[in-house]
Structure 1
Amino acid sequence: MKKNSLFLFTIIIAVASLFSSCKKDNVEVSISLTTQPASAKVYAGDSVTIAGTASTTGKFRLIQMVSNPLDGSTPVLLSEGAVTSCANTGGTVNFSRVITKLTKSTIIKVGVVDQNGQTTSVDFAVTILEKNTTAAVTAISFYSATSGGNIADIGETVTARGVVWGTTSKPTIALTTKTSDGSGVGSFVSSLTGLLFGQDYYVRSYSITSNGVLYGNEVTFTTLTPNTPTPVVPNGTFESPVISGFVMNPQPNVWSFAGGGGQQKNGSAFGAATAPEGVQTGLLQGDSQMYQTFTFTTQHLGISLMAAQRSTQKQTIDILIDDVVIGSIQPTSAVWAKYTTPTFAVTAGEHKLTIKGTNTYGGDNSAFVDDVKTILRN
């Protein structure tokens, strides 16, 4: 019995000695931050670095960081807190931790715990800023839309605001495709114009302060595509009337010809390359022209055509709508190639299309045209 009591006492003494080895009377501990000022303003999810120095005359147990949200919700021990064992000797340790995933404004208590379990702490204030927002896009049409946003109050003077858009993600105000919608914080409405139909766009609100540019969230939209039929150029492949060789001003025909204009067939004396569509093409010799009037719908269009020179000649060609030049071309060789005009706008109704040989260089110059079409444009 005495032996058992002696053994138990020995164990108690050993355990007590183990715990007391981490205790020390009159331990002094201090902590200070080198990250100054002891505060930060960030957006939710952004990182915050907190660094400092802790000193003790005893031993450290740990350094910890506890978030105390200002909304009164439960404090959270941050996983980024550094932990040191009580095996550390007295002296000074430097610490630096990156805090992430904060979603609420908070006071972070940065504390050092000594070997006796006593804590000394300092505060680091983190303000979570509200972000600019971009309004959903509405009133989407072929060439325009409406958006806007809300500029958050982050304590800085907003000198300009608006939205910026582009065809790739994260457009910036370096683009010309942006609005200018006044200054200050709060909500605003923006009109997006000059868009292309059937195009995907990316939009962000922006605000400018003395500290730079802040962008809102990105939204996307697609402009409408017109379902109005594109007008068809009658006899755009010159297959009517059926001819042999070549004929100047062949009739009956929806085209009218003047000054040496007409049609030619594969194998004619003009020596044109095989027609890209069918077996006949238009012919423009010298100062000549072909024209016709047909019905258009209200839209933006271009004229597309195939063209080729006669041998090594140098014919030049103008394309006109209602006697106004909308494009000029010079076929590069006797090989057929496709040419298109710049965009032009028409109203609904009858309009005149003219294809004119201008013979800029003088002399005997001829060119051939085929597969004349209207193409839908923005």
Structure 2
Amino acid sequence: MTNYDIIVVGGGPIGSTYAYKMAKLGYDVALFDMKNRIGQPLQCAGIVSTNIKDTKNLPEEFISNKVKGANLLSPNGTSITVEKDDNSAYVLDRVLYDKYLFNRAVDAGATAFYGERVLDVDMDNTRITTTNGKYSSNIIAVACGPNSATSKKMNPNFKEESYTGIQYTLKTEPSDTEYVDVRVNTSILPGFIWKIPVSPTEQRLGLFTNGSHKQANQILTNMMDSGSTIIQKHYGLIPRFNVNKKIVENNTILLGDSANQIKPTTGGGLVTGFNCTTIAAKNSNKMLEEDNNNYLKQYETEYHKKYDSEFKAQQNVQKIIKSMDEDDFNYMFKELKDNNVDKIISEYGDMDNQVPLLKQLVKTGVIFKLLPKIGVRRLKNIWKSL
């Protein structure tokens, strides 16, 4: 049996980043991924807020487009445009970016195992069994996505919930590249439809939903412009955050989608995941230095301290969105537009941290104008989470 300090299961961006950080600290790291081609198939919208700069994880060459703002569209077509003075988001080449993050971990000293499926994670003995053999370590980090068998084993009575994400990469007629379109469609709530410009002649059109693949594909087909053609179709699962999910057992930890470290309202997880690798790497290092796995529990504690209030507030917003119909949204968009909320959103809106915007909507009294549709009880739930 081969022994390592760290075994990482899953060579996506979060697993690769954790492996890189631990290898850079001098530990003997093994990085396993069941795919032979890292980054493929694409399973992400590939847009991230500029907050990713703070993680120091994104070289400029993997940015396909820089987005200034977004057009928010109601069912009847009422549009609210929000934007920053500077760029607000980056559209990434996720295939090349994922490969870069994986190779960076290898260059830092991690041993890569391509195309080797992990069949079992033994959390009692900190060992794994793969299609090719058995390996042991002091810590196992599982970052292999929302269908993680280890996550299910760690949470035997936990009901995993997720959304279906579907996205088309389209060849289009020349069009604007500065704004993302986000459209409400009440048949897929609390999901929404997005149109992300990659270049003047390429877009990503997608949605997430509780509904069927057939319904989702029909919606996207209807949303395509007449001059667009489909280059690729991509499918994936978006896990739902749950504060009660266990992410540490003995010397095994969960990271990224396996830990449901996903923003409830948007389904994004890169910035959150990268920040969690920093927390996990710091505490993993302490655990190995002092041979005390209480530090791994500290990773779980610090993660919840950093994200629980933000994610709970987003969940409360999501519950309101899910209960609304077309008339409600059309009313809300009209009220927001009449009260110049585009300026408030432009100033306080943040894809990763939405609580400051909610606080400002309460402070300015704008949110109270939506009471006929939100209701007092739901407003109180938002208030409690701020």
Task: Please say whether Structure 1 and Structure 2 have the same fold, judged by a TM-score greater than 0.5.
Answer: no
TM, length-normalised to structure 1: 0.18
TM, length-normalised to structure 2: 0.18
More helix by proportion, 1 or 2?
Answer: 2
The higher radius of gyration belongs to 1
